[in-house]
Structure 1
């Protein structure tokens, strides 16, 4: 294997040592000399034509000379010694046998500051040398050597492919052997993202893809080597190499030229990072109460920090935008405008909820854990985000309310009243009692019922308000103080139970809202265990009325 690699390296070094034809150029003043038309053979520039002749421009002259020189190089039985210089009156010709390849005028000689005949001999020597070199390359011996080299390269490539495949098969086996050893799967807390078998499959897929890349690179290197062996395909070798070298060179130059912008972006990002870090420290100090700012509440610290951080990062992105590669291209700008329009049209309600969330944050209407009422929904706040607020009702139902809806409705916060008020939250309930019951008796029974209820404060004492005098009854409103806003439902239930008990003990019948009964014949509505043992329902007075009617008759 090592010997094979050494042979391959030697072959590459041999192929890279192409003959370089030294181009002897006549001394020409580059500042004063006109631009010449090249005479080229085998991709080697022999000399230049600087002046026209008659109606032929220098480019037309160069094209005609190139055609004749190429035809000369393709002569099957080329006789290089037949290339001669023929002196004429007006020009000096370079001819092959009886064919004139080109003519050199006094203007051509003056352009390179040489005598006409000397320049013609110089050009004739270059044409002769170049045609001999090309004929040698296309000789049978050269072709056989080139075929042999191509076969050798293919053999080396075959063994390289064979051993690379063996290497990758060995890697595949090693990967499969690592199942439940080094490849134990991938877990994120309690969630198993990849089992050991799946992780092995993923690694094998990556390894197989890597093998394909290696094979592609080897083939791509092989083709230029093969093309460079034969003279008529050398152009394809250079073209294939340029397909890789030009992008790599462009990428490399682009990276080098981008270094100043990259450093600028790095400085901006680092400064922004430390500013955000300092603001996070300040927010933590305010939230913990160590740092007090007049008029700034502690629960504002975290949302304010999040808003300022977002604005800082947005400002940072705006500042570094001009330094990003391709930011000034029309395509990049068009995509940015399209995304902006799409975001604006598709997120109007989301933006409204975000703005409402910010407003609610600084209104301090409620916080996590508060017992609130929004419209017809009552419950405890369990989550408060920029878009929605989640409330858990007394029936253990989680209700998601958009912040825009909360902002458009009135919000009642029971917890704030019970925590921030010295007296607590006032719970109230109404009961209607007939006019036949003295109101002091009703007041005392209601107050006793409130004081007998858990979570009701003794001080301040509960009080009763008579809210209305209706047609059939009087409305009594019981008001009691509590600090247990989260237990309102249970407290109300206890108050209602105790009202029934205290009224029954006091002998007060709850005949509301409209209860019809005849007192001379019906049993009272008070439960039996509250009545005396000798209690009997009164009888009707119908007989007495009938007896009086009979006497009068």
Structure 2
């Protein structure tokens, strides 16, 4: 009889083991990832995320069924013990005597995480939900949480009032202190910092600091209050976790950026040294007899170009080590800046290239008297983009360099001997006047004019034989090369030409020839000082 019972028990156990194995095998075979993941959330706390369909149930159905079972058990008075049971490679999470949910291998998304670890984490979160549900039903716990909330709120309000008082005190104390310190920051009698312009910036910085502290206190107060109550505790934990992750991210970013910043600074220091060395080297090479094209005029632009090339190379080398250089935002900003420069700086680059052409070809030099198109005057500055010319009438003309390179430039100072410039003027006299007489009168007028040099001697050229008159051009050299004296010199030269022609009874008139006039068109000497001409001029010439 005992043997029969033993064999019957062994048979029943074998059948049970076969059924359990078949169910586990079915669970493993039917657990497939065929639908969107579904999150199981109880009392605002995430328990587990289902990712696979199991026994014909989608993740959403599994989550909904598990939530219904857990809510029903939490609302009752049954045993709320949470434990795990294995079914081959899967785990069954039990809440009391009820099956809460099953964790299968297909529900685990991380390759380095086992299904056992996922099930234990889910069970731990479920235990926390059970504990929080019991706390939510405890009047004593809720009263303590409410008291802590009131105390935290009062402390929060007190801190806000203290912060506001400190802000107002700083605004009333800083102006006096800043005014005292800014008055002492002087170079000679010049004050470096104006208090009225500097204080608004300081006030905005104080306001920014004040509101940053207010937001931080509000964030911490809200996090503390939410963590006091079971239902809102997950929200408080998420806020606190977000702040910690943000601080950790900022600290990690700063620490990781330090080596790159150090390398970039080293590159910039090396570039600075190379720039200073190249400057000294170019100064030595610009000495007479070393390099012909490197002169006093081209030394400064050559030094600037060399320094610019060194710094551009340094920026290109340091770019990968700058913080955020590998981010898509930084790359997009670099592309945008490059596109803006390429589209908007074409004319600027053209002007700069024209300035380099003028500098290295030495077309113009400061102090030379030139004529560019319809403009003439003394060159005062040859810049990278523009050239400044001061006329004899006191006007300052700023000419684009591209205009100068694209037009004919007359230089009146380049061919002279020593300091000075070339002065010339043109008159047209009729054919009835001997050309030798005209040349002699023009040379005499040049001789009477102060500032016109006699060595080299002035010259007269007949530049054209027109239909009604020949054209005479007087060319001489004068000093100095200032624009205003040149205008005054031309005035005196023209006046002397008129005087000489009037003395010899030769009229300066170039009409189209129709017939001889009844009277000669010249001014006799007794009419030279007809009012409003002044008599002292006659005394000076006498």
Per-residue CA deviations over 1:367-386 (Å, capped at 9, x if unaligned) read 22321100111112233322
Structure 1: gaps spanning 5 or more residues: 1-33, 86-91, 105-123, 531-553
Work out whether 1:460 is the aligned partner of 2:456. yes
Q: Secondary structure at the match of 1:231?
A: coil
Aligned residue for 2:319?
A: 321
Aligned residue for 2:305?
A: 307
- CA shift, 1:74, in A, is 4.2
Work out whether 1:427 is the aligned partner of 2:406. no
Aligned residue for 1:516?
A: 516
Alignment of 1:47-196 (within 5 A): 68=69, 71-75=72-76, 77=77, 99-101=97-99, 135=134, 138-178=137-177, 180-182=179-181, 196=195
Q: Secondary structure at the match of 1:174?
A: helix
- CA shift, 1:277, in A, is 2.1
CA contact (8 A) 1:465 1:476 kept: yes
Work out whether 1:480 is the aligned partner of 2:479. no
Of 392, 395, 398, 2:393 maps to 395
Are the structure 2 counterparts of residues 417 and 126 from structure 1 closer, same or farther at C-alpha, using a change threshold of 3 Å? Answer: closer
- CA shift, 1:356, in A, is 1.4
Are the structure 2 counterparts of residues 252 and 433 from structure 1 closer, same or farther at C-alpha, using a change threshold of 3 Å? Answer: same
CA contact (8 A) 1:387 1:403 kept: yes
- CA shift, 1:221, in A, is 0.7
Provide the rounded CA distance (Å) in 2 between the counterparts of 1:254 and 1:56. 45
- CA shift, 1:310, in A, is 2.3
- Tell me which structure has the larger Cα radius of gyration: 1
Q: Secondary structure at the match of 1:513?
A: coil
User: Bigger shift: 402-411 or 38-47?
Assistant: 38-47
Per-residue CA deviations over 1:324-379 (Å, capped at 9, x if unaligned) read 44444445444444443443333333332222122111111112232110011111
Aligned residue for 1:415?
A: 413
Q: Secondary structure at the match of 2:365?
A: coil
Are the structure 2 counterparts of residues 379 and 291 from structure 1 closer, same or farther at C-alpha, using a change threshold of 3 Å? Answer: same
Provide the rounded CA distance (Å) in 2 between the counterparts of 1:57 and 1:323. 49
Matched pairs, number: 461
Q: What is the TM-score of this pair, normalised by structure 2?
A: 0.68
- CA shift, 1:237, in A, is 1.4
- CA shift, 1:220, in A, is 0.6
Provide the rounded CA distance (Å) in 2 between the counterparts of 1:157 and 1:491. 86
Provide the rounded CA distance (Å) in 1 between the counterparts of 2:285 and 2:440. 50
Alignment of 1:317-396 (within 5 A): 317-396=315-394
CA contact (8 A) 1:433 1:475 kept: no
- CA shift, 1:247, in A, is 2.1
- CA shift, 1:217, in A, is 0.9
Q: Compute the RMSD of aligned alpha carbons.
A: 5.0
Per-residue CA deviations over 1:451-472 (Å, capped at 9, x if unaligned) read 2221222223334445567777
- CA shift, 1:434, in A, is 5.5
Provide the rounded CA distance (Å) in 1 between the counterparts of 2:260 and 2:149. 48
Per-residue CA deviations over 1:529-550 (Å, capped at 9, x if unaligned) read 89xxxxxxxxxxxxxxxxxxxx
Provide the rounded CA distance (Å) in 2 between the counterparts of 1:368 and 1:342. 35
Alignment of 1:231-250 (within 5 A): 231-250=230-249
CA contact (8 A) 1:387 1:402 kept: yes
- CA shift, 1:180, in A, is 4.3
CA contact (8 A) 2:505 2:522 kept: no
CA contact (8 A) 1:179 1:197 kept: no
Aligned residue for 1:27?
A: none
Per-residue CA deviations over 1:500-537 (Å, capped at 9, x if unaligned) read 444455x4423543593558xx898532489xxxxxxx
Provide the rounded CA distance (Å) in 2 between the counterparts of 1:477 and 1:93. 115
Provide the rounded CA distance (Å) in 1 between the counterparts of 2:330 and 2:295. 44
Aligned residue for 1:215?
A: 214
CA contact (8 A) 1:504 1:526 kept: yes
Structure 2: gaps spanning 5 or more residues: 1-27, 29-38, 85-91, 103-122, 529-542
Provide the rounded CA distance (Å) in 2 between the counterparts of 1:246 and 1:301. 56
Per-residue CA deviations over 1:299-319 (Å, capped at 9, x if unaligned) read 111111222222222223333
Aligned residue for 2:36?
A: none
- CA shift, 1:269, in A, is 1.6
Per-residue CA deviations over 1:121-166 (Å, capped at 9, x if unaligned) read xxx9999999578635642222222222222222222322232322
Provide the rounded CA distance (Å) in 2 between the counterparts of 1:203 and 1:95. 61
Are the structure 2 counterparts of residues 189 and 234 from structure 1 closer, same or farther at C-alpha, using a change threshold of 3 Å? Answer: farther
Alignment of 1:255-270 (within 5 A): 255-270=254-269
Provide the rounded CA distance (Å) in 2 between the counterparts of 1:390 and 1:356. 14
Provide the rounded CA distance (Å) in 2 between the counterparts of 1:71 and 1:188. 83
Provide the rounded CA distance (Å) in 2 between the counterparts of 1:498 and 1:290. 44
